[in-house]
């Protein structure tokens, strides 16, 4: 998938993981309570607000996605009730303070009246001894139940919006799951290929992705061929060989983009154009501060050297990263 759905939190963290994810996917969605749409400045943290305003992250309101939100959570409650042994353990955990905070509008919201929402899920969890309401718009929920509930909601919304649910909070035991194993492989590849600094200009990043969307698709396809191949196991010689090949290709492209010498054909062409231009203008222009051909040509060369990076031919899919190294690193 080209787009992902981040969970379990609302705000994406300002970490290398987020920056790699921003570069790799077309767009990131985040499950956001309704009140955040009305007063984003008051609710989002500074980084998340910048991501939303830069249109790199799309807030997703469950109200707009779920057709029957008051019924969607019933299977979840039924599953908890069936597992009586685990339910008792969870109750004991909740009583001893093993809790997490969940926003009441992140789940559910079924419109009954103009400004009243059904809270069936939280009422059900309270009845089971797994939740209690806190001050304001938050509920305390037994920690494991809260994690499962967010996973449940993200999976449903991801399926309805054609987004891959993705988190930076996967526990080690969860890696046994095939999808989580693929995510770990993907992260390993990206960590080795995208070691970008934390101070990226987000507006510049968005413009870069828009301009080079085809290159991003080619790069993502190359990585996913490794991620989705069950025969390429992380830590194996085959995996390490593929990773080394990608890294070497990226380094080669970056070096080519930073070459200082122009080929003679380019030199001749540019000098010819400059000479023609100066010949046309010399009759009517005196005292030009630009001066003669050598200095002017040197300035043109410098400009073209900046631009020519995008003309480097590549079939490996790594040109996107090589350009990102050159264009986005401050």
Supply the range of the domain harboring residue 81.
1-169
Q: List C-alpha distances in Å: 285 to 124, 275, 289.
A: 84, 14, 10
Q: Is 115 helix (H, G, I), strand (E, B) or coil?
A: coil
Is the same domain home to 102 and 200?
Answer: no
pLDDT (tens digit per residue) in 96-116 = 777 666 666 565 433 322 222
For residues 143 and 186, state if they share a domain: no
Asked if 7 contacts 167 with a C-beta cutoff of 8 angstroms, the reply is: yes
Q: What is the mean pLDDT of the chain?
A: 76
pLDDT digits (tens, 9 = 90+) for 21-76: 999 999 999 988 888 888 899 889 999 999 999 999 999 988 788 888 778 888 98
Partners of 131 in the β-ladder: 141
Q: What is the pLDDT of residues 204-235, one digit of tens each?
A: 889 889 988 988 998 899 999 999 999 999 98
Q: pTM for the complete prediction?
A: 0.74
209 and 253 housed in the same domain: yes
Q: Per-residue pLDDT averaged across 254-267, rounded? A: 53
The domain tally of the chain equals 2
Residue range 130-188, pLDDT digits in tens:
888 877 677 888 888 888 888 888 899 999 999 999 988 755 444 456 677 888 899 99
- Is residue 226 domain-shared with residue 122, that is, in the same domain? no
Q: How far is CA 202 from the centre of its chain?
A: 12
Q: What is the DSSP letter of 262?
A: P
Is pLDDT larger for residue 270 or for residue 98?
98
Q: Which residue has the higher pLDDT, 312 or 252?
A: 252
Assess whether the previous peptide bond of 8 is cis (omega < 30° from 0).
yes
pLDDT for res 47? 93
The domain boundary, picked from 116, 137, 169, lies at: 169
Give the Cα separation of 95 and 260 in Å (integer).
67
The owner of tokens 């350009």 is: 323
Q: What are phi and psi of 18, to 5 degrees?
A: -65, -45
Which residue reads 């480097």 in tokens? 312
């Amino acid at each position: 998938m080209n787009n992902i759905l981040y969970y379990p939190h609302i705000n994406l963290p300002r970490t290398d993981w987020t920056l790699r994810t921003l570069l790799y996917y077309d767009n990131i969605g985040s499950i956001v309570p309704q009140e955040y749409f009305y007063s984003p400045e008051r609710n989002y943290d500074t980084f998340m607000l910048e991501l939303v305003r830069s249109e790199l992250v799309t807030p997703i309101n469950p109200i707009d996605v779920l057709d029957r939100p008051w019924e969607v959570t019933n299977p979840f409650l039924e599953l908890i009730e069936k597992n009586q042994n685990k339910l008792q353990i969870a109750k004991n955990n909740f009583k001893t303070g093993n809790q997490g905070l969940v926003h009441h509008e992140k789940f559910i919201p079924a419109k009954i009246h103009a400004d009243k929402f059904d809270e069936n899920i939280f009422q059900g969890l309270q009845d089971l001894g797994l939740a209690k309401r806190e001050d304001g718009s938050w509920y305390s929920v037994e920690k494991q139940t809260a994690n499962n509930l967010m996973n449940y909601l993200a999976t449903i919304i991801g399926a309805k919006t054609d987004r891959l649910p993705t988190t930076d909070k996967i526990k080690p035991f969860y890696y046994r799951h095939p999808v989580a194993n693929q995510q770990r492989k993907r992260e390993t590849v990206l960590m080795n290929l995208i070691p970008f600094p934390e101070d990226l200009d987000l507006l510049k990043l968005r413009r870069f992705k828009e301009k080079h969307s085809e290159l991003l698709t080619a790069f993502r396809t190359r990585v996913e061929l490794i991620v989705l191949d069950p025969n390429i196991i992380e830590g194996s010689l085959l995996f390490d060989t593929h990773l080394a090949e990608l890294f070497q290709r990226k380094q080669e492209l970056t070096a080519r983009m930073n070459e200082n010498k122009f080929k003679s054909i380019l030199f001749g062409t540019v000098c010819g154009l400059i000479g023609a231009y100066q010949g046309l203008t010399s009759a009517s222009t005196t005292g030009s501060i630009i001066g003669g051909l050598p200095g002017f040509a040197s300035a043109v060369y410098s400009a073209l050297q900046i631009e020519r990076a995008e003309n480097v031919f590549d079939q490996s899919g790594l040109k996107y990263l090589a350009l990102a190294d050159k264009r986005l690193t401050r």
